[in-house]
Amino acid sequence: MIDLRELYQETIFDHYRKPRNYGRLDGANRRAEGYNPLCGDKVVLYLRVENGVILDVRFEGSGCAIATASASLLTENIKGRSEEEALQLMDGFIGMVTGVATTGELGKLEVLAGVREFPQRVKCATLAWHTMKAALKNADEPVTTE
């Protein structure tokens, strides 16, 4: 039996209803768009990066609870980190939601661990992270989950 509460934890609803760091970021020097063509989820990520450190981050977009909560949690978790740390976090996160890595070092991001029981939803959870990577590379073309 699949337990829905594993996926939809209270923290996820909280971030879905009240996304943190939502909106445009004035003074952003990196930006990327992510799109999940399967469900129409869209995220725009704005970063201000100086000397290899992510000083500020905000996001905009419309999506399901998983995609929105994931983007919101991402902003909380990468602010103040170096680019390298953020990318390491991304690898750990993707490992967790795809079920290839064990959890344990991801802190608050672990509320999304339940996604690994729902393979169809992995793309929702990873969209913001792929978009962050594109933004760090300052890639101009929109990233998609396909």
Partner 1 sequence: MNPAELQHDSDDLQVLRWRADFPILETQVHGKELVYLDNAATTQKPLAVIEAVSGYYRHYNANVHRGIHALSQRATDAFEAARAKVQRLINAASPDEIIFVRGTTDAINLVAQSYGRSRIKAGDEIILSQMEHHSNIVPWQLLCQQTGASLRIIPVDDSGELQMEAFYALLNERTRLVAVAHVSNTLGTINPVRRIIEYAHAHNVPVLLDGAQAIAHLPVDVQALDCDFYAFSGHKLYGPTGVGVLYGKAALLDAMPPYQGGGNMIRTVSFEGTTYNTLPYKFEAGTPNIAGVIGLGAAVDYVTGIGFDALAMHEQALLAYATPLLADIPGLRIIGRAREKTGILSFVLEGAHPHDIGTILDTQGVAIRTGHHCTMPLMARFGVAATARASFALYNTRQEADALVAAIYKVKEMFER
Which CB, 41 or 83, lies closer to partner 1? 41
Residues that bind partner 1 (CB under 8 A): 1-2, 4, 7-8, 10, 13, 38-42, 62-67, 118, 120-121, 124
Which CB, 44 or 49, lies closer to partner 1? 44
Min dist. Cβ of residue 64 to partner 1 (A): 4
Which CB, 86 or 126, lies closer to partner 1? 126
Min dist. Cβ of residue 106 to partner 1 (A): 22
Q: Which amino acid is at 48?
A: R
Which CB, 68 or 83, lies closer to partner 1? 68
CB atoms near residue 55 (< 10 Å): 13
Min dist. Cβ of residue 83 to partner 1 (A): 30
